[in-house]
């Protein structure tokens, strides 16, 4: 790789957006090229300055309360709900006749679609879950098909944890289940539901089991294991941390692994 190729990639490298092969290439180049190494250091310094100096403004409690109040309207007729939701903030007072007209139109509209909405929401939730299932399964299959299913090879959880901490700033709970027949194989970073997630990889005989640590906001978790193309998927939530297990081991062993993991993490 020469500087011309490397220069634009430095940003993606800094941002952790390169795949492993590209990372290897650019790191090799950085070792040889002082110019690019300096540029990277300069970008890193800029990042530090931005992250240090640029404030992350937190939403004021009053705004959160306002929005929460909108959702907490007690059991009304659906028309009234829409009135309430679509009402402007008190600071933006609108002229009354226009507002009333708009409200009555909205009322009529919302009565019309009120019954449809329930179905729509159910199906959004189901579709989400299925989409996540599919993403997890394809990630699992991709990993199985790849040269190595892990980015860091280690049977030692004390190696895996800091590796994740260094890569994604998150140190997942890693449980040692070797004594139970599920030795840790390693870990990798994967890209699921549009974000980078930590994946712990356990072995069981010839099988590999992936444990995905999804961000805690994924709230449509179902405890029920599902089977997709012969692979089992199950979600668990331990100490508010949702985890997805994907593997092709049989039902009993799968359940055993799930229980061991749950017990191990909460210990």
Partner 1 sequence: MNMGRSTPPDVGLVRDLTLPHLDAAYNLARWLMGSEQDAADLVHTAFLRAARYIHTYAGGNAKAWWLSIVRNCCIATLASRSRRDVSLDGLAEDEPAQWPQANAATVEDTVHLSQCAALIVHHLEALPREFREVLVLREVEDCSYREIADILAVPVGTVMSRLARSRALLKKLLIENSVDAGTHGL
- Report the interface residues with partner 1, using CB under 8 A: 3, 7-8, 10-12, 15, 17, 35-36, 38-39, 41-43, 45-60, 62-64, 66-68, 70-76, 78, 81, 85-86, 88-89, 91-92, 117-118, 120-121, 124-125, 127-128, 131, 191, 193-196, 217, 219-220
- DSSP conformational letter for 178: G
Q: For the chain, how long is the longest CA-to-CA vector?
A: 74
Place of tokens 């019309």: 112
For the bound state, the minimum distance from the C-beta of residue 117 to partner 1, rounded and expressed in Å, comes to 6
- DSSP class per residue in 101-136: HHHHHHHHHHHHHHHHHHHHHHHHHHHHHHHHHHHH
Using the minimum distance from each CB to partner 1, give the nearer residue, 125 or 263: 125
CB of 10 to partner 1, least distance (A): 8
CB of 113 to partner 1, least distance (A): 9
Output 91 or 229, the one with its CB closest to partner 1. Answer: 91
Cβ within 8 Å of residue 215, ≥6 positions away: 195, 197, 242
Cβ proximity to partner 1: between 135 and 176 the closer is 135
User: Shortest gap between Cβ of 191 and partner 1 (angstroms)?
Assistant: 8
Residue 230 · residue 248 · CB < 8 Å = yes
C-alpha closest to that of 192 among 235, 231, 138: 138
Nearer to partner 1, 53 or 97 (CB): 53
Query: Three-state DSSP class for 49?
Result: helix
- In the complex with partner 1, the residue whose CB is nearer, 95 or 194, is 194
Q: How far is the CB of 263 from partner 1 (least distance, A)?
A: 25
Contact 186, 152 (CB under 8 A): yes
| Shortest spacing between CB 31 and partner 1, in angstroms | 17
| 3-class secondary-structure state, position 105 | helix
* Shorter beta-carbon distance to partner 1: residue 168 or 260: 168
How many C-alpha atoms does 44 have within 13 Å on its Cβ side?
A: 10
């Amino acid at each position: 790789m020469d500087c011309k190729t490397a220069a634009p990639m430095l940003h993606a490298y800094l941002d952790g957006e390169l795949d492993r092969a590209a990372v290897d290439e650019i790191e090799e180049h950085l070792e040889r090229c002082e110019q690019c190494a300096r540029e990277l250091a300069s970008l890193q310094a800029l990042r530090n300055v931005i992250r240090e100096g640029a404030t992350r403004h937190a939403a004021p409690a009053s705004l959160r309360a306002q929005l929460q109040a909108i959702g907490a309207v007690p059991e009304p007729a659906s028309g009234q709900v829409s009135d309430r939701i679509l009402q402007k903030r008190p600071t933006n007072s609108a002229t009354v006749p226009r507002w009333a007209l708009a409200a009555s139109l909205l009322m009529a509209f919302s009565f019309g679609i009120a019954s449809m909405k329930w179905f729509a929401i159910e199906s959004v939730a189901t579709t989400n879950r299925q989409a996540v299932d599919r993403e997890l399964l394809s990630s699992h299959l991709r990993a199985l098909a790849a040269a190595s299913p892990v980015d860091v090879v280690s049977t030692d959880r004390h190696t895996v944890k800091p590796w994740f901490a260094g890569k994604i700033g998150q140190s997942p709970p890693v449980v040692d289940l070797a004594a139970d027949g599920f030795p840790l194989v390693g870990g990798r970073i994967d890209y699921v539901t549009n974000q980078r997630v930590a994946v712990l990889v356990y072995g069981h005989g010839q099988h590999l089991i992936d444990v995905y640590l999804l961000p805690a906001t994924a709230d449509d978790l179902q405890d029920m294991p599902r089977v997709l193309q012969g692979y089992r998927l199950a979600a668990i939530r331990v100490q508010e941390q949702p985890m997805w297990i994907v593997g092709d081991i049989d039902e009993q062993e799968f359940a055993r692994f799930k229980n061991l993991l749950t017990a191990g993490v909460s210990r």
